[in-house]
Amino acid sequence: MGRTIATAAAVFAGTNIDDILILTVLFLTSRARGLPRPRQIVAGQYAGIAALVAVSAVAALGLAVVPDRWVGLLGLVPFGMGLRGLVRAGRSGGDEPEPVASGVFSVAGVTVANGADNISVYTPMFRTIGPAPSLVTVTVFAVLVAVWCAAASWLGSHGKVVALVERTGRWLVPLVFMVIGGAIVAESVF
């Protein structure tokens, strides 16, 4: 069981290191703009990871729900959200723009869109480890989502970082989402 826990932790960390950046930006946006609320970020992250695990588990059972070559196109979701945020920031002309991610579903969408690497790793893992180790793995993932959210919240709590987002967040946050989305799409194409 210790080996399964260690493997699950390593797999989660390896496939979700990019989520630290996304979650930190979301927590910064929450502190600077009020949306999404921290509980929405956490719930959205859990919902997104749960969706990725579910798709991977179904795919591991031999059902090709989403062809691998199309999974990377999910990167268009954060890219589109970022583009929409930039357009709104440009139109607001100094007024407070609506946040890029404003609730549980948009946070979950970004998590799922950023999860092409998760699906590609989780699917063969679930196929080979069996039911009992899969349950241990999912439990480890659930614990580590909380750790990831706590770490991102801590990273996003520094006054200087919050002040920077307050000054530049209307442009910075959408750009970060666009870069992440573009990287996901590029990674799946190349």
Judging by beta carbons within 10 Å of its beta carbon (0-12, 13-18, 19+), is residue 129 exposed, middle or buried?
middle
Q: Which of 53-57, 80-84, 90-94, 174-178 has the highest mean pLDDT?
A: 53-57
Residue 39 contacts residue 108 (beta carbons within 8 Å):
no
Lookup: tokens for 23: 């979650």
Q: Return the higher-pLDDT residue of 41 and 188.
A: 41
Looking at this protein, which amino acid is placed at residue 42? V
| Tens of pLDDT, residues 151-168 | 999 988 877 766 666 677
Segments forming the whole domain that contains residue 69: 2-189
Average pLDDT rounded to a whole number, residues 25-39 = 85
Cis, bond preceding 36 (omega within 30 deg of 0): yes
Residues 6 or more apart whose Cβ sits within 8 Å of residue 14: 121
Total number of domains in the chain: 1
Residue bearing the bigger pLDDT, 186 or 24 = 24
Helix (H/G/I), strand (E/B), else coil: 102: coil
Going by the DSSP 8-state scheme, the letter that residue 93 receives in this structure is T
Global pTM value: 0.70
Burial 164-186 (b: 16+ CB within 10 A, else e): ebeeebbebbbbbbbebbebbbe
For the chain, give the mean pLDDT.
80
Provide CB contacts within 8 A for 5, sequence distance 6+.
136, 140
Which structure tokens are listed for 8? 């699950």
